[in-house]
Structure 1
Amino acid sequence: MISLLMNILWVVLFGFTGALAWFLAAILMVISIVGIPWARAAFNMGLFVLWPFGQVAVDRRLLTGQEDMGTSPLGFLGNVLWFLFAGWWLALYHLVAGLLWCVTIIGIPFGFQHFKFAGLALAPIGKAIVPVESLGMPRY
C-alpha cells in the first residue's frame, strides 16, 4: 500500500516527465538506427522511472543464471558506449535531482530513487527490472 502511494506521488511530482525523457531518448536511438541496441534499455529504464517503488534492477545473469548478449563482453562494450554518449549526462541529471529532493525531509525517498537511477543510467544494459517480492526482499 505504501509503495502504491509513493508511486502515485512519484508519477505526479516527477515520474511522468522523467519517463517521457527516457522514452524520447529511446525513440531518438531508434530513429538514428545506430542506437537501436540501446533503445530497449532506455525504454525499460523509462518504465522503471515511471513506477519505481517496489521494483529493483538486477543483473540478468544473476536473475537467470545464464549469460546473454547484454551480460556478455558485448554488453560491457555497449555499456561503455552508452556511458560515453548518454549515460554520464543522464546520471548527472539524476544526481542533481536527487540532491534537490533530499534538501527537504519529505523528499528524501524521491531523492534516493534519483540516486538509484543515476547509478543505473551509467550502465543499464544487462539489467532486468523485477518486483522486490520476487527476490524475497521486503516491499517499501
Structure 2
Amino acid sequence: MKFLGNLIWLLFGGIVTSIEYLISSLLLMVTIIGIPFGLQTLKLALLALWPFGSKVTDNGNSGGCLRLIMNIIWIFLGGIWICLTHLGFGLLLCITIIGIPFGRQHFKMAALALAPFGKNIQ
C-alpha cells in the first residue's frame, strides 16, 4: 500500500513539489549563509518525493541553542508560509475519505516545514 500511495502521490503533485523544493534549496545554497537553510529544504524535497512510509524523527539535543535560533530564523524567513500551505492542502484533502491518507502526509510535511533543524527523515 505504501508503494501505491507514493506512486499516486508522485503522479498528482509529488514530483512537482519535490522539484520546487530542490530548486529553492539550490538557490539558497548559492550564498554561504543560505547553506544551512538549503540543507533543510533538501529534507523537505526528500519527504515530498516519497512521504508514505517515511518518518520524521527528532535528533534529541543535537545543536542545542543553535538549533532553536536557526528554527526561529527559518520560521520568519518563510517556514510559516510553507507550513500553512501544507496545512491548507492537508485540510482540503481530508474533506473526502479518499484524501485522508494524502492529507496526513501534508500534515507530516507541515510539521517538518515549521521546524526542520534537528529533525531526520527515516
Same fold flag (TM > 0.5): yes
Query: 1:32: Cα distance to partner?
Result: 3.6
Q: Does 1:40 align with 2:39?
A: yes
Residue identity in the other structure for 1:88: I
1:122 paired residue among 102, 110, 114: 114
Task: Show the counterpart of 2:72.
Answer: 80
2:105 alignment partner AA: Q
Whichever residue aligns with residue 75 of structure 2, its letter is F
CA distance in 2: counterparts of 1:87 and 1:121, whole angstroms:
6
2:94 alignment partner in structure 1 = 102
Seen in structure 2, the aligned counterparts of structure 1 residues 78 and 120 have a Cα distance that, compared at 3 Å, is same
Bigger Rg, structure 1 or 2: 1
Give aligned pairs, total: 122
Structure 1: give runs of 5+ residues left out of the alignment: 62-66, 131-140
Q: Cα RMSD between the aligned structures?
A: 1.2
- Number of the residue aligned with 1:20: 19
Partner-residue secondary structure (3-state), 1:128 = strand
- Which runs of 5 or more structure 2 residues have no equivalent in the other structure? none
Cα deviation, 1:38-94, whole Å, max 9, x if unaligned, reads: 111110221111101111100112xxxxx433xx21011000000100210101111
TM normalised by structure 2 equals 0.93
Cα offset, 1:33, TM superposition: 3.1
Give how far 1:99 is off.
1.6
Instruction: Name the counterpart of 1:89.
Output: 81
| 1:103 Cα deviation from its structure 2 partner | 2.1
Percent identity over the alignment?
A: 40
Q: Which amino acid aligns with 1:99?
A: L
**2-side partners of 1:32 and 1:122: how far apart?**
22
* Matching residue of 2:30: 31
SS in 2 for 1:113: helix
Matched, 1:51 2:50: yes
